[in-house]
Amino acid sequence: MINIVESFSKINSNIKKLNPKRLVNIIAVSKTFSLDYIMPLIDHGHMHFGENKVQEATAKWRSLKKEKKHLKLHMIGKLQSNKAKNAGELFDYIHSLDTQKLADVLSNYELNSGRNLKYFIQVNIGNELQKSGIPVSEIENFYNYCINEKKLDIQGLMVIPPNDNNTKKYFKTMNELNISLGLKELSMGMSSDYEDAVVNNSTFVRIGSLIFGKRS
């Protein structure tokens, strides 16, 4: 059986060697895994966890988050506007802000609830039809809409690059785009490419299988 604390510690150590001047947060992608399985990592003191389905995450985390208020939950999957309110009640970070409609709904939720979430704008850097995200050419306008009209706390950009062996190039472009907007945080990199992401100044990497093992 995989030792998830040991796996996490090795990744964390590697990240510090790759970019020692950058604070990088590991989002442990715990989707499909039970709380019993991931509890050793929580007990170890880790606080950032990622889920991609609102209903599954609510059933798993709602009670524990009330007990352990330091835990930070990240929505890393596609978020439909009709589930935004439920997501807002549970999650602390939304990494998939990708439409004006979703920005509108989340802004209304914050006004009505008094909660303030942190957001990453999802970028469709390869203009892939099958992927969500804002095209690079529209990022600046969408960012200004979110912060000026909707008063959302945009932390940075998020990307899942095309699987075409140009990952380093995409990460470099994302870092430059993030800097051009004056943003401090950057969400990119997963189990297969987190090292390239960290070298290109990612501050949030989403790692699942390298920590928890393969999903059944």
Q: pLDDT of 146-171, one tens digit each?
A: 999 999 999 999 999 988 888 999 99
Phi, psi of 90, rounded to the nearest 5 degrees: -110, -45
Q: What is the pLDDT at residue 43?
A: 96
Sequence-separated (6 or more) residues with CB below 8 Å from residue 89: 58, 113, 115
For 130-143, how does the pLDDT look when each residue is reduced to its tens digit (9 = 90+)? 788 999 999 999 99
pLDDT band at 215 (very low <50, low <70, confident <90, very high): confident
Per-residue pLDDT at 65: 95
Tokens of 188: 């990119």
Over pLDDT 90: what percentage of the chain? 92
pLDDT the model gives residue 163: 86
pLDDT tens digit sequence for 16-36: 999 999 999 999 999 999 999
| Ordered structural domains, the chain, with CATH | 24-124+132-159+203-212 (3.20.20.10)
1 pLDDT exceeds 60? no
- For residue 55, what pLDDT is reported? 95
- Percent above pLDDT 70 for the chain: 99
Residue-wise pLDDT tens digits, 68-121: 999 999 999 999 999 999 999 999 999 999 999 999 999 999 999 999 999 999
Q: Are 174 and 123 in contact (CB under 8 A)?
A: yes
Both structure tokens of 190:
């997963």
Q: What is the pLDDT of residue 130?
A: 78
Strands (E), the chain: 25-29, 48-51, 72-75, 93-97, 118-124, 134-135, 153-159, 185-188, 204-207
* Residue 153: closest CA among 143, 141, 139, 167: 143
Distance CA 74, CA 91 (A): 6
| pLDDT, mean of residues 192-203 | 97
Tokens representing 46 are 């880790």
Prediction pTM value: 0.95
Q: pLDDT tier at 216 (50, 70, 90 boundaries)?
A: low
Paired strand residues for 27: 206
